[in-house]
Amino acid sequence: MAATRTFSIIKPDATRRNLTGAVTKMLEEAGLRVVASKRIQMTREQAEGFYGVHRERPFFNDLVSFMTSGPVVVQVLEGGNAVQRNRDVMGATNPENAEPGTIRKELAESIEANSVHGSDSEENARIEIEFFFKPEEIVG
């Protein structure tokens, strides 16, 4: 299958608990290749822009505060059917509903502190990758 790309964030709850490697290992074992990665402190402006589709949701302000509460690792992942493959290994948004063996079931703390973000479609993957990476920062 042709390699496709998706966008991933290792969230502040995971970086705080020193789980960057543990999360990345699970992504790699699921058949995804990290073709770009950087650890950043998101600004409020970046978090509000990135999560703009959720602006009207009741959890928006808490989400932005959480995502700016510590470092995150933004990544581009490559693999066959990368968007779905990543969603499968992440598990359900709420770790209580996630399948055993998924990142969120094994590592996440709550629906907000759920350790990882992953794009929900190929179109959003392209938009999200562009939001954080220049083309030359992605080396496949």
**Among 8, 75, 86, 114, which residue interacts with ligand CMP (rule: CB under 6 A)?**
114
- Distance of alpha carbon 59 from alpha carbon 108, whole angstroms: 18
Q: Residue 16 or 54: which CB sits closer to ligand CMP?
A: 54
Indicate the DSSP class of residue 82: H
Active site residue 117: yes
Stretch that binds ligand CMP, among 20-28, 32-40, 106-114, 123-131 (CB under 6 A): 106-114
Q: Taking CB under 6 A as the rule, does residue 115 contact ligand CMP?
A: no
- DSSP per residue over 11-41, as a string? -HHHHHTT-HHHHHHHHHHTT-EEEEEEEE-
**Among 111, 124, 126, 138, which residue interacts with ligand CMP (rule: CB under 6 A)?**
111
Q: Residue 40 or 140: which CB sits closer to ligand CMP?
A: 40
Q: Look at residues 25, 89, 93 and name the one whose alpha carbon lies nearest to residue 57.
A: 93
What residues act catalytically?
Answer: 117
